[in-house]
Structure 1
Amino acid sequence: MKKILVTGASGWLGAEIVRTLLARGDAVVAADIVISPATAALASRDPKLTAVAVDLCEWPQVMSLMTAQRPDAVIHAAAVVGVIQCADIPIKANRVNVEGSINLFEAMRLAGVKRVVHVSTEETYGDFLAPTIDEEHPQKPVSVYGATKLAVEHYGRMYSRDHGLECINVRTCWVYGPHLPRPRVPRTFIEAALRGEPLHVDDGAQLAVDQVYIADTVAGLLLALDKPRHRYDSYNVATGVAPTIADVADAVNRAVPGARISVGSLGPYRHGGVVLSATKGALDISRARTELGYEPQYDLQRGIEATIEATRAAFAREAVTGDQR
């Protein structure tokens, strides 16, 4: 049994990482700026889980966490996540994503913790120059989010070269699944369909994006965590195919009888209807397959159906309790 520190552990992806690590028998230190009630409740039930409130932007807190817990490795999921979220608060995004990561790497160096798996993103590539791209594609981000994540990758390389850390970057794409916290595709399509409401989006039908179910993302992260030796410091973890936004709408319509979800092509896709998306496509996952043994288990239709099932159950609970997400 290893002890794994998970940053951003009360977030959507971080919480799934924590649950998966616990299920396979690891001890987990769940760190976040605020410990969610769900994480606290899980820690009260499972002695393998320790929950610690820590602000990665505050150096003394990070160093105290690392020296007190002495984890075997780190999965670094803490960040201001998303293109529009970072565009709205660029200074805070830089402080949390970049400065917080430097604090983490420095604390690891001083405490003798060597391996960190950083949750990175396709946004580091910027505009895709081909329908499918591999890890050697130029990294020219066009969003604040992508720029901060690329900076973290580069700082990780410096710490690896100069201090012997092993900073591994897992670049995923549009991760989705049950209870996605941001109102974007496919959540918006699924919720409208389950409510019996028609939804038409005027723009972005032809944007092709590799959409990755959350369980596949977590599986790839843990494979990178577990690999004894790495020849590479970056892996694309996605599906290797890129459905269009219109394809996602069709998948929802197939899965929910009577659903009326449609997307037009009047203009390009904009995050939140505001921030222009980079040109996307599919991530070549050959390296992750060969080096990690990664194989995605969810194609788009299966992932959409799993998300619909969980969302339908959440709606039923809301109807009984009166709670709204």
Structure 2
Amino acid sequence: MNAVLVTGAFGLVGSAVVRQLAADGRDVVATDLDIGAHRKAAAALPSSVQVRYADLTDPAAVDALVEAVRPAAIIHLAAVIPPFIYTRRDLARRVNVDATGYLLAAAPAGTRFVQASSIAVYGSRNPHTVSGLLSADTPTHPADVYGDQKLQAEKLVRDSPLDWVILRLGGVITVDPGAYMKLDNLYFEQLLPIDGRLQTVDVRDVASAFAAATTAPVVGETLLIGGDDSHRQIQGDVAPTMAAAMGLVNGLPTGLPGNPDHDEDWFTTDWMDSSRAQEALGFQHHSWPDMLAETATRAGALRGLLRMVAPLSRTVLRSRAPYHRTGQQFADPWRAIADKWNEPRP
């Protein structure tokens, strides 16, 4: 009973967490759905990692998984996230809420349960009317189904008899250029108010935080996981700066600012107080400037090609942008999400 069970093990965060635990010499069991992409990803994992496929929305499958592994700790990362949650909200509830309950019920007494949550639980954040930094004590008021489901899952965790820890994540990013080359991701970025506040964090630092949370003296705590102060950014600067590091200089169109007079028209991001998390978990290793430099290095020869296509990229993406030819003065992210995917409200 020394293993760490990682759910959602082949997602962006899950893969990084599994690799971090393996590098730390931990006994790791990775679990996710049994699909081709995950089997391919499993083949690239360190040989010490054990893989068990399971559907966490099936309570019998969860019971069998936990009984077989008998984990000392569970890192629960499996989730349906934006923007895809808006089109599959019933499935998302089964994954984001019900599966959490099944895992909590199946886990043996004394298990350390580390729950992945999000600052989406705080709801819309208008930088013109809110002040200070998000903290564990900031009142929660979810604006969308994702934040609402994450808050429901948090309640299940807090009500359990296990040794729980909740980590609320900020804007998780990676230095892998390929992760950004997806039209849905670009569209989603463009519908957000460009003057919203966002605290990013390198996925490798997130992995360090989760690994540390399985043993650190933080039981019963809710911790905010964001990068160091260099990661406190303005929404509209993040994607263009990262794109420029890859060579796509001025390759992304500019979006719209948020309406300072309408608190409900802002997205669920803000700057965070991660001081307690950093004190307890010591996870902040990659600054924003360091990430940009590494992104440029990883892009390599691709940078020259992207620099050449940047003007065309900007023209094409502008024509497909959410507010193109609408005449709007301000961003309206929730309406744009509803128009593209589905109603996002809880």
TM-score range, shorter chain: 0.7 to 0.9
**2:109 paired residue number:** 112
1:253, 1:261 within 8 Å by CA — same for their partners in 2? Answer: yes
Give the distance between the partners of 2:110 and 2:33, measured in 1 at CA: 21
**2:123 paired residue number:** 126
**2:89 paired residue number:** 90
Give the distance between the partners of 2:246 and 2:299, measured in 1 at CA: 12
**TM-score, scaled to structure 2:** 0.74
The answer to whether the aligner puts 1:171 opposite 2:168 as a matched pair is yes
1:212-268 residue CA offsets vs partner (Å, 9 max, x unmatched): 1111111111221220x3264210010244211332255336635571145535354
Give the distance between the partners of 2:7 and 2:102, measured in 1 at CA: 12
Give the distance between the partners of 2:246 and 2:29, measured in 1 at CA: 39
Deviation at 1:172, TM superposition (A): 1.0
Aligned residues: 289
Deviation at 1:126, TM superposition (A): 1.0
1:12, 1:181 within 8 Å by CA — same for their partners in 2? Answer: no
**2:11 paired residue number:** 11
**2:320 paired residue number:** none
The code of the aligned residue for 2:287 comes to D
**1:243 paired residue number:** 233
Deviation at 1:115, TM superposition (A): 0.7
1:7, 1:76 within 8 Å by CA — same for their partners in 2? Answer: yes
**TM-score, scaled to structure 1:** 0.78
CA RMSD in angstroms comes to 3.1
**1:234 paired residue number:** 222
2:167, 2:223 within 8 Å by CA — same for their partners in 1? Answer: yes
Deviation at 1:63, TM superposition (A): 0.4
Give the distance between the partners of 2:190 and 2:79, measured in 1 at CA: 29
* % same residue: 26
* Contiguous gaps of at least 5 residues in structure 2: 305-346
Give the distance between the partners of 2:14 and 2:215, measured in 1 at CA: 17
The code of the aligned residue for 1:245 comes to Q
Q: 1:113 to 1:232 in 2, by over 3 A?
A: closer
Q: 1:257 to 1:22 in 2, by over 3 A?
A: closer
Give the distance between the partners of 2:155 and 2:183, measured in 1 at CA: 29
**1:301 paired residue number:** 289
**2:20 paired residue number:** 20
Deviation at 1:62, TM superposition (A): 0.5
Q: What are the residue-to-residue correspondences of 1:173-188 with 2, within 5 Å?
A: 173-177=170-174, 178=176, 179-180=178-179, 183=182, 188=186
1:265-321 residue CA offsets vs partner (Å, 9 max, x unmatched): 53549xxxxx96525321111111233334x222223223333444558999xxxxx
Give the distance between the partners of 1:40 and 1:315, measured in 2 at CA: 30
The code of the aligned residue for 2:288 comes to L
Moved over 4 A (4+): 200-203, 311-316
Give the distance between the partners of 2:50 and 2:69, measured in 1 at CA: 9
**2:148 paired residue number:** 147
1:13, 1:214 within 8 Å by CA — same for their partners in 2? Answer: yes
**2:200 paired residue number:** 211
The code of the aligned residue for 1:96 comes to V
**1:264 paired residue number:** 254
**2:101 paired residue number:** 102
2:54, 2:62 within 8 Å by CA — same for their partners in 1? Answer: yes
Q: 1:312 to 1:145 in 2, by over 3 A?
A: farther
Q: 1:315 to 1:62 in 2, by over 3 A?
A: farther
Q: 1:312 to 1:139 in 2, by over 3 A?
A: farther
**1:37 paired residue number:** 39
Give the distance between the partners of 1:226 and 1:61, measured in 2 at CA: 27
The code of the aligned residue for 1:237 comes to I
Give the distance between the partners of 1:226 and 1:310, measured in 2 at CA: 33
Deviation at 1:202, TM superposition (A): 8.1
The code of the aligned residue for 1:41 comes to A
Instruction: For residue 159 of structure 2, give the secondary structure of its aligned residue in structure 1.
Output: helix
Q: 1:293 to 1:32 in 2, by over 3 A?
A: same
Higher relative contact order (CA 8 A, sep 6+): 2
**2:80 paired residue number:** 80
**1:197 paired residue number:** none
The answer to whether the aligner puts 1:135 opposite 2:136 as a matched pair is yes
